[in-house]
Structure 1
């Protein structure tokens, strides 16, 4: 499975590996279309949910990296 297919982004093409709504990547919407995007103010529960989803994506990415390293090491033996 391609780990990049699991990443959600705003579709603007900028920072395509960072999920929307997480601080540092368009927290108030897409930079390409100001005012046309996500709500500006999220509830605490929404922020927690987004961070938990982001953590899952990071964990999946780490697992993919570990699997790739194992594949490469098998090729060296």
Structure 2
């Protein structure tokens, strides 16, 4: 489903996808999104009160969808 949503988003012209709140304690979700090419670009300390683990960080995970690399785009902006 995630791969399909990335494909459709790209076809519709979206440049990237972002998940704003992935609990750091949800190792399965973090592993899945990472495997699908998402990177952790931000962390909200102690943002989620896990029922067993107490307060854990929430992650912001991001993926650039277009073929052009992010490094190329950043270099174009900073020149």
Taking structure 2 as the reference length, the TM-score comes to 0.28
Q: Which structure is higher in helix share?
A: 1
Higher-Rg structure is 1
Q: Which structure is higher in strand share?
A: 2
Which structure exhibits the higher relative contact order, with contacts defined as CA atoms closer than 8 Å and separated by 6 or more residues?
2
